[in-house]
Structure 1
Amino acid sequence: MEKLLENKTLLIAGAGGLLGALLVSKVIEQGGKVIAADINQKEMRERFKSLGIDVENEYLTLENLDITDEKNVKEFFLKYSDIDGAVNSTYPRNKTYGSHFFDVSLESFNENLSLHLGGAFLFTQQCANYFKKSGNPFSLVNISSIYGVIAPKFEIYDNTTMTMPVEYAAIKSAIQHITKYTVAYINDSRFRINCVSPGGIIDQQPDCFLQAYKEKTHGVGMLDVKDVVGSVLFLLSEQSRYITGQNIIIDDGFSL
């Protein structure tokens, strides 16, 4: 039986992260070759080791990539001629990211937009440029968020030091529109970009937050990162051949 991503070469940017590393493992399981790219090779290798990913696997190539560096990104795409699709799971941010609304300076806000949204723009632009030069079908998946779709439910952060960063909401909503803008601009059925917008993903949050969040869902609460992977694999595959410019929400009803 043919696997979902047989004979495909897929670029995972941010491969050392929680979602990126799991995607690397699952793409290989589905028969695809992976170019795993991250700004920090050491952390990426350690994450792979924790997941049992063999870094010597013939289906895996490790690369350095700084998604906020225009020269680096452009040179990266010149190295390859056989990329069939990509996932941008990067999450660049500065040291003051995550401050409460009234504590966010304009300088910090602008810097975070430049890093995260600017990086998403650059990566999307260069994927489109790569397609125009190669002419080969290409599917890009951008990672947005439920908070790129709806306003934050601030009450779930009561009794915690956490908040929903204003920069995050601005960036994730804009990523959805850059996705639509770019596929409309390229206007070619062979080039597709879609978004996946997860709800909250479990990552050592306090119990009071987890319970408050769960009450806003249909019962599952915060998602495990593995709950997001299936939609990304689908969008990278031929099963979604004419799906483009769309946003798939995975949130167990949190946004309803």
Structure 2
Amino acid sequence: MNNLLNDKVILVAGAGGLLGATLVFEILKQGAKVIAADLSINTMRPRLEKLGINVDADEITLIELDVTNEDESVAFFSSVELLHGAVNATYPRNKTYGAHFFDVSLASFNENLALHLGSAFLFTQQCAKYFEKHKHTFSLVNISSVYGVIAPRFEVYKNTKMTMPVEYAAIKSALLHLNKYAVSYINDSRFRINSVSPGGIFDSQPQEFLNSYKQYTNGAGMLNVDDICGTVLYLLSEQSKFVTGQNIIVDDGFSL
């Protein structure tokens, strides 16, 4: 049986993160070559090695890429020779990100939108320019969130120091329409952009929060990071070749 991504070259931006590193592992398993990109190779390398990835293998290339830097992003997409798809799993934010609603300053809000949504625009734009230059099939998967689709369930954060950042909701909802804009603008069936919107992903959150969150799901509670990967693989593959401008929610019913 053929792997989903045989002979493809896939860029994973944010490959040193929780989701990004796992995606690199799963994409390699499906027969693709991976360009793993993050701010620091020294930080990314041990994260990938911990998953059992041979980072010196021919199938993987590690690069440093700051997706918020226009010059770096333009230079990368202008120089890359072969690319069939990309996943943007980056999560750029400033030091005051995550404050409660009334504590968020306009300057901080604007900076976080510029960092996260701005870099998503830049990444999407450069993927589109790459396609316009090379004219072969290309699939971009952006990572949105269930909170880009529904209002926050603030009750799950009670008795914790956590909240659902207002910047996050604004960014992740805007990202969904950015996808539609870009594929409509390019208007070519060979160029696709879709989003995956996970529910909560387990990352050692407080037990009280985990218990509260689980009540709104169909029983799974917070998802493991690898629960998200299958949907991303599908969207990168030819199995979804006419799926475009869509958002697939993976949340075990949290948004119902």
Query: Which range, TM-score by smaller chain?
Result: over 0.9
Q: CA RMSD in A?
A: 0.5
1:88 aligned partner: 88
1:225 aligned partner: 225
2:101 aligned partner: 101
SS of residue in 2 equivalent to 1:131: helix
Report the CA distance between 1:95 and its aligned residue.
0.4
- Residue type matched to 1:95 in 2? K
Distance 1:174 1:81 in 2: 30
Identity percentage of aligned residues: 66
- Residue type matched to 2:226 in 1? K
Report the CA distance between 1:23 and its aligned residue.
0.7
Per mean C-alpha deviation after superposition, the further-off stretch among 205-214 and 52-61 is: 52-61
- Residue type matched to 1:242 in 2? F
SS of residue in 1 equivalent to 2:55: coil
Aligned pairs for 1:160-199 (under 5 A) are 160-199=160-199
**Unmatched 5+ stretches in structure 2:** none
1:37 aligned partner: 37
Distance 1:56 1:43 in 2: 15
1:4 aligned partner: 4
SS of residue in 1 equivalent to 2:91: coil
**What does the per-residue CA deviation read over 1:101-142, in whole Å, with 9 as the maximum and x for residues that have no partner?**
000000000000000000000000000000001111100000
1:252 aligned partner: 252
Report the CA distance between 1:41 and its aligned residue.
1.3
Distance 2:19 2:201 in 1: 10
2:17 aligned partner: 17
The answer as to 2:115 corresponding to 1:115 is: yes
TM-score (norm 1): 0.99
Report the CA distance between 1:81 and its aligned residue.
2.0
Distance 1:3 1:41 in 2: 28
Distance 2:240 2:211 in 1: 35
Distance 2:57 2:121 in 1: 31
Residues 81 and 134 of structure 1 are in contact (CA less than 8 Å); yes or no, is this contact kept in structure 2?
no
**What does the per-residue CA deviation read over 1:148-192, in whole Å, with 9 as the maximum and x for residues that have no partner?**
000000000000000000000000001101001100010000000
Report the CA distance between 1:2 and its aligned residue.
1.2
Residues 139 and 236 of structure 1 are in contact (CA less than 8 Å); yes or no, is this contact kept in structure 2?
yes
- Number of aligned residues: 256
SS of residue in 2 equivalent to 1:36: strand
**Unmatched 5+ stretches in structure 1:** none
1:212 aligned partner: 212
Distance 1:167 1:248 in 2: 21
TM-score (norm 2): 0.99
1:153 aligned partner: 153
**What does the per-residue CA deviation read over 1:186-205, in whole Å, with 9 as the maximum and x for residues that have no partner?**
00000000000000000110
Residues 199 and 222 of structure 1 are in contact (CA less than 8 Å); yes or no, is this contact kept in structure 2?
yes
Per mean C-alpha deviation after superposition, the further-off stretch among 36-45 and 141-150 is: 36-45
Distance 1:7 1:181 in 2: 29
Runs of 4+ aligned structure 1 residues displaced above 6 Å come to none
**What does the per-residue CA deviation read over 1:24-51, in whole Å, with 9 as the maximum and x for residues that have no partner?**
1111111000000001211101101211
